[in-house]
Structure 1
Amino acid sequence: MFNFSACSLAAARAPQQTPQFFHDVFQDWLTSLQEFLQHDLPKLLSVLIFTWVLIWVVDFLTRRMVAIAESHPGRGIARASQIRTMASVLRATAIGIVGFLAALQILRDVFNFNLAPLLTSAGVAGVAIGLAAQTIVKDCLNGMLILLEDQYNVGDVVRLAGVSGTVESMSLRKTMVRDGDGTLYTIPNSQITNVANLTRDYSLPTINVAVDFSANPDEVMKVLRDAAMSVRNDPAYSDVYLADPSLLGIDSIKGSQVIYPVQFKTLANQQWAALRETERRIFIALHDHKILPGDPNRVFNGSAGSLTQTSKQLPEQPPNHPDATAAKPRETNPFTGETN
């Protein structure tokens, strides 16, 4: 049977218990706030201030790195852009690491969060991501080393991973090279193990001039030197030279062909126009002095003092004698008596 008297008594006491409940909640909240202000807030502020200082230091160092690179115009615009790329990557990576460590510190010291399960799951996830993306990580690490060591810049002529051409663009993950016929190659940085930079500091091109054996070497050397120095002293080409052309003498003799190498030292990747002009003037000088060009098929007859043009002869073949071991035995026809 329902007790109306008990219900009436509980209803009468409820208005008295409600203010006490809110009073207790308010007291607990004030106590927690006081403890937070006394103990947790200083920890939180110290972590945030220390994090801000570290981020400011990272930002200052990266901006200083870019400013130093841009203050040396001799290194080129491409190199400055590469340093800006590397600085931005370093800044983002450092800020991410500092922010992650600060968040862990706040969770542990301020909010008393147990980090063991979180770190365990993060470690397992990191291993899985690392195994799946290890090629990308290797590309980025190798790309950072290429930038730090200044192995090549945008605009350099290089040989990378069996491909030759001009570096058109590069990032931490890949390098794009365009060859002479316009083909664009994309090379992951992890595949770059050897770098041949053809435009670093200076170029040392060589012209190998083939002259006939009958020409006087001293006269040939004088003609070649005059032709090379005429280009060296030409105002249109003198700016690309770093030293006078050097004649190395006779390099090799191949039959009646004598090779005279002429070597140049020019600015990096600036030698092509000067080389073409030098070859043109050498051709004209040899023609004016009636010096024959080298020909491996020309034979010089020293005793007769004349030149004869011959073609390569095949060695004489020995006479064709029949093989006695391969001869058929003589046979006699039993019907006619004829012998074969």
Structure 2
Amino acid sequence: MIAALLAAPTPDPTPTVSVDCREDAFCKQVYDLTGNAWLSESSFWIFIKPLRIILILLVAFLIRWIAQRMIKRLVRTSTRTSVPTILRPLRERIPSAPSASDQSAVMPERRRQRAEAIGSVLRSSVTAVVFSIAVLLILSELNFNLAPLLASAGIAGVALGFGAQSLVKDVISGVFMLLEDQYGVGDTVDLGEATGIVEAVGLRITTVRDGRGVLWYIRNGEIIRVGNKSQGWAMVIVDMPIGFAGVEEATSVMRAAAAEVAEDPDLAGHFVDPPDVLGVEQITVDGAVIRTIAKTTADGQFDVGRELRRRLTEALESSGITARIAATRMYPRPSTPNGEGETRGGAT
């Protein structure tokens, strides 16, 4: 009997399909119709898998195209009167903010540049997210085990985060700087150690050229405070000493000179409010100091300030007040030893 069992032919194993094929409706139907495991498996890997991968890529490109089209449309509408909330600076989102009524003076070109920078960041982020998900889905279709890959990516992300903290801080600060419109190209800013005109704004670095021509490269994460002298309006403040001359006379002369500056056709467009002589600001050993202020546009503050100082100086000189200031000053001189002269010392 044992010899008969050994002599009996061994039956061929029944071919079976993989679990993936059994779970797929098309592959299972091919196997049910033909009963051929090789044919059904081949159809699964030759037709089904490539079609799924192509479908994933098509959906990824479609989502990316739709998202970028929406972002471009958002950027185009940024230069119009109705601006999306995400592109408005924080001060414009608060109706009661002091500068909310002055936003008509904001240049469309500046807003367009800021919107394009934000749009570039959003487009890059959308592309990275969409295609990262697409790659993971394709690897899953190719039966790659994603658990170790995701775990390794998580560990690498944590290591990169610890090793590049300053870089991440700079980029995040740059994004918020763009969203809040803290400053832009061409603005005159005070960033602490560097004060000058902004020449370039990036997600990581801001470039500022100071009055001496030095070009400063400042990391956005290191900027603690920003003083922007080019947004909205500016206040020109001029303090003029008048000595011990009559305050009313000096105030009248200075008001007339300030009114002439406001009526100058070359400077009239720079004034937001007419200049005003406030009166005595302080008293020093040389006499009184009178303050004059003028609310101007951000671009015209320097021209108005220089012209206002020139006109006030000329007005005080032509009225004779400047001569009285010099006459009231006392210049000390060295004392003369006893016996060498009649004067013991003093001042004139």
Asked whether the two chains share a fold, i.e. TM above 0.5, the reply is: yes
Identity of aligned residues (%): 33
Task: Note if 1:261 corresponds to 2:291.
Answer: yes
Check the 8 A contact 2:272/2:295 in 1, yes or no.
Answer: yes
What is the alpha-carbon distance in structure 1 between the residues aligned to residue 311 and residue 161 of structure 2?
61
Aligned with residue 191 of structure 1, among 209, 218, 222: 222
Match of 2:12 in 1: none
What is the alpha-carbon distance in structure 2 between the residues aligned to residue 264 and residue 83 of structure 1?
32
Aligned with residue 63 of structure 1, among 54, 66, 72: 72
Give a deviation string over 1:187-238, Cα, whole Å, max 9, x none.
Answer: 011101111101110110101010022x222221111110001010011111
Check the 8 A contact 1:79/1:153 in 2, yes or no.
Answer: no
Check the 8 A contact 2:106/2:232 in 1, yes or no.
Answer: no
How many pairs align? 277
1:149-160 alignment runs, 5 A limit: 149-160=180-191
The one-letter amino acid paired with 1:101 is: I
Q: Per-residue deviation at 1:42? A: 7.2
- State the SS of the aligned residue for 1:185: strand
Question: Structure 1: where are the runs of 5+ without partners?
Answer: 1-26, 299-306, 315-340
Q: Per-residue deviation at 1:144? A: 0.7
Aligned with residue 119 of structure 2, among 76, 80, 87: 87
Match of 2:302 in 1: 272
Task: Please tell me the root mean square deviation across aligned C-alpha atoms, in Å.
Answer: 2.8
Task: Note if 1:107 corresponds to 2:116.
Answer: no
The one-letter amino acid paired with 2:183 is: Y
TM (norm. structure 2) is 0.72
Task: Note if 1:162 corresponds to 2:193.
Answer: yes
Task: Note if 1:51 corresponds to 2:60.
Answer: yes
Check the 8 A contact 1:164/1:177 in 2, yes or no.
Answer: yes
The one-letter amino acid paired with 1:82 is: R
- Aligned in 2, Cα 1:294/1:113: closer, same or farther, shift over 3 Å? farther
Check the 8 A contact 1:244/1:264 in 2, yes or no.
Answer: yes
1:194-233 alignment runs, 5 A limit: 194-213=225-244, 215-233=245-263
- Aligned in 2, Cα 1:134/1:308: closer, same or farther, shift over 3 Å? closer
What is the alpha-carbon distance in structure 1 between the residues aligned to residue 192 and residue 328 of structure 2?
48
What is the alpha-carbon distance in structure 1 between the residues aligned to residue 204 and residue 58 of structure 2?
35
- Aligned in 2, Cα 1:282/1:101: closer, same or farther, shift over 3 Å? same
Match of 2:41 in 1: 32
- Aligned in 2, Cα 1:294/1:79: closer, same or farther, shift over 3 Å? farther
Aligned with residue 97 of structure 1, among 129, 132, 139: 129
- State the SS of the aligned residue for 2:250: helix
What is the alpha-carbon distance in structure 2 between the residues aligned to residue 112 and residue 38 of structure 1?
16
The one-letter amino acid paired with 2:274 is: D
